[in-house]
Structure 1
Amino acid sequence: MNCWIFIVLSVYFFAILVNTAVIPDNDDIDKQGLYSKSDHIVILTDKNFDKKIYGQRNAFLVQFYNSYCGHCRAFAPKFKSLASEIEPWKNIIKLAVLDCSVEENNEICRQFEVMAYPTLRYLHENYVKSNANIGEKLQATDSAEKLKTQLIHKIQNEQSMGRLMFAPSLKIAAYKDIISAVNPLPKNVLYTFLIFENDNSTIGSELAFDINDYEHVMLKRVHDVSELSNVAGVTHFPGLVAVGPNLESTLLTPKIPTKQNLLKAINSFLKSKNYELPLRNIESEDNSKNLNHVKPQSLYSDAVYYSDLEKTLKTSLHTEITRHKTLSDESYLALLEYLDVLILAFPFRGNLKEYVIDLRKNLGNKNQWSGSEIYDLVKRLETKHSPVFSSNIDYIRCKGSEPKYRGYTCGLWTLFHTLTVNAAQLPGSEGARVLKAMHGYVKYFFGCTDCSQHFQDMAARNRIFDVKENDKAILWLWISHNEVNLRLAGDVTEDPEHPKIQFPSATQCPECRLARGAWNLPAVYEYLQKIYGTIITQDTKAAAAPSPISNLDIGLISLLYIFSFIILVLAIKYFFTRHLFRKRRYKHAWGKV
């Protein structure tokens, strides 16, 4: 009986370990950065990029983005809206995204020469991997509708070059009668829909792709000025006519001929003919994020945590600076100046300072570097000076209520406020030097392209290079930060649980406001010195405890898996062989008598 209990427990333990030790498929990922599979978008990573992109029958529109870029966050809902609307086009073209803020993806972003976010690249079908093949750039428009129009024009151009010939033809032509419009009629086509529109209209092209998976159905674009429009009785445009298997025509133009109404008219007509429409395999939106949302821990809102500074510095070295294909001239000098002010004023702990000094020394050996060379140097020196960064490093005060909020942008503001205040304590005008280094960093390295341009415009308007004194440098950055907060208040990128306010708030610093609400600049200056001159070294683990399963070492799981398997085998062997051992012992005893 005890043996049976032992076996059952072993099997149970074995099953648990098998379930917990499952290693996810590296080719597919459900969510990364600003997007998930439920958005009808292909999530690309360094592990699956080649497999998903190259040699595919369909074309791709790939967005290279940066998850902490404000413009990317604002563009994401538009890209998702487009993906949802053109989901039926997936046999022809798919939308895909790659988050360049993820360190492992950085090499691909360098290969595709991505220097602005978001960057849209059209990759035609059967795309071949090559250093010269970086796709054709499309504009990140301000609406999903404009982006869709741009995409249709691109596909029309592709078909004129002999590509996407398996897709419905988007050509438009003029016809005299029904017979000439439908001929030559493929044998398997039962119903042909004629869309009468002008050459610049995209509605017919959209409809052709919307019904591309309707069997035995085709759609053709017809010039609205052709003779056929009079023959078919089309009086307003875009017009819709259905042609049956016996060339009988039916006018279907709705009163308001929008694309959606025209599509409804097509579907209604087909249903009246007992035609079975294809099922759309559209996944429902994942609402679990709203159910599982947990508000972040309440923290002192203006405090500076070392973990925020450290993670920001690591991100800048691992992903932002190394995204460049080549650094030379002004961008190279901007990098050296950034490292110099870090050495000058960063509140280093452990081996981090020696690491940054060594990095600066090595980068001074030549005046041109590729991004991949810098990345290799960064990683090599981290090994040399290990440990450099804290393990499981994460944001604390800069952590947003959702991953798409705050994070690195908050950390970068915090970093330069801290550098400016610390540099101001040194002899000379080092605070002003930090401002110049910040300008160079934002201009050449900050991943949000629109944000970078806004900052450069503001810096020129507020005369950043005229700042000479330390106290003015501190106040200049504070004024500029509040100017950005004012511009972004209420923006789609604003974290609803961390609204953009004019800081410091009256709660945090009552003496910073005068009776009529004006700023008390001496009090503000003193407050900024106190806040950014005092670094809290709270461990990130105190802010958020990690999931015990997700942080298990995979090697330990493997050992437990093997150990459990061995126990199971021994238990089964013992159960099936124990009677043999007893029999031999009994026979041996009789032999001695």
Structure 2
Amino acid sequence: MKLSYGGRRAQTDGKLFSLGGKMARRCGRATSRLSGEEVRTQPRKAAASAVWLGFLCLLLPPASEAGLYSESDQVLLLTSENVELLLMNSTAATVVEFYASWCGHCVNFSPVYRSLARDIKEWKPAVELAAIDCATDQNRKVCTNYGITGYPTIKFFHAYSKAGSQGQAFKAFPRDVRGLRHKIIDKLETHEEPWPPACPPLEPTSQAEIDSFFETNNVEHLALIFEDGKSYIGREVTLDLLQFENVAVRRVLNTEEGLVTKLGVTEFPSCYLYAPAGNFTRLQVHFEARTFYSYALQRLPGVVRSGKPPPVTTHVSTNNTEEPWRPFNRSRVYMADLESALHYSLRGEVAAHTVIKGEALSSLKKYISVLAKYQKHFHYFPGRPVAINLLRSVNSWLQNQTGDEISYEALREMLDNSAQTPDTALPEGERWVGCQGSQPHLRRYPCGVWTLFHVLTVQAKNAEGKDPLEVLSAMRSYVRSFFGCRPCAEHFENMARESLREVTTLSSAVLWLWSRHNRVNNRLAGALSEDPNFPKIQWPSPEMCSACHTVKGNGEHSWNNEQVLAFLLSYFSSSSILTDYLEDETVILEKQRDKQRQRQALQAQKHVERKARETLGSMTDPLRSQPTVQEEEEEEEEEEEEEEEGRRMKPWQMKRRKVGMEQWLQMR
């Protein structure tokens, strides 16, 4: 995206930074040489370059599947075919790991590199992370050309690196995310002209520059992070806010006595919000640390991700969705979402398979078995009695199927309770509440699926299930066989293959699903599928569970897993699920009976029509009393079409059609 610095102004799709004097286009010592006109046009060029770079990454072939990284790891996968294109003359600085997939140290380091990619995701497009597997035949020469003699090797390539550049090696680099992050900042600050257009200023500011900041910058918030000279927090937060508009971040050293005295700063680090009128307030956070500053600043009023629409009001949401907006409590789970997820899962996704066999049939049996399970007074799916009865009925039927395949038509008969077992029904239709989106294509079913399986893992824990992997294994199988978003299914499978073996207890199953959900949130933050009203954050937020968050001795954010587990067990507990907006069970059962009556009427109608055709045929051709095989097949096809048509017909339409046929027969 999107940043350019020069003269006294820089803009990233509306995000402006004051860059006069020391705040010129540099991170330390580089001085701007751009004219005002260049400053105005450069951001658009940078954004176009970033988009084109991303497009090329999608087109070019991925690295070998045998490598240590996949596309879902947020690491650029380099090959002999794209390495020059992505590293040379790039508008972004690029960090590259050269590794060999057979190297034990590389294997051990790969989780750290993946974590680093997630940690600095918001630094794009100023900084990109990439990797190349030197063990493959096609990449071996590439690695030799870049002077690689041992693995793993990490190199830093400045923006606009020229052909033939071999990058700068990280010598004796740290094996932790924090240390690598600091190394990257150190390398950024050695950058000479031309400076990466998307990189914000990282050098300390002064009181003189701050006093004139709002004269040349049109932002709603200026955050000043006070720290000592050895701290990296100010620079880290500046890069963390790179992709957000209406906020600017500046670093102030404790030696800047004018600002320190003016604001009365006594703690380092600390963060203050400076207003255009000269007012200032301290940013309230749970811990004075990078992650907490970044989270709080990204959620200030008016701060939005670059290129994303601002959050819409409930009134606008009502106009943009197919149904009226349903006000709801964001801190609770709704049964309506669980039932809607079940409906779409079983009547939508599974229905796409006309015949269910092999692995898909096994996946379906596992899925339904978990949904229907009851143990120690706990239903794994804590639904209403009618839904639980239906799931039990379907599960019993499925487990009794001894063949290697079933038709979806037979399954649909069970889902619709065609046998009319009393008090048994799966509510039809979708009625999203906590999973509503501000647009019809946002959230909804994906949110419902995640919620459903979180509830199942918690219910299995409460029921003291014997198999820690029971629910996760069912989820993995279902997603692999039926989930409609195939790239999503592949990403989930990659996560499961990578770490599902770590789950050894029911508690770890609950935490595994939570941590992987957060990993997906990190990957999708800022994507087109992100709802501006519901940004994809690392959940639960500090506001929702302050005890879940803590910091290590070095100031790094850390999750308190004991507190997280307690929060999840409470949040997804059956006793906490709200039943607002649910359709009454008597209405559900009556609709089901109406549907069955329509089906029976349709079958009777088909019988009458078939007899009419036979009578008409015998009258016109007395010698022809038996239909041919072809005619029987055609009749069967017609019957299927008529049955489908009948399912869509209203009762009054069925009656009119039946009366019309009877009148025709009387006329004959």
Q: TM-score, normalised by structure 1?
A: 0.41
Q: TM-score, normalised by structure 2?
A: 0.37
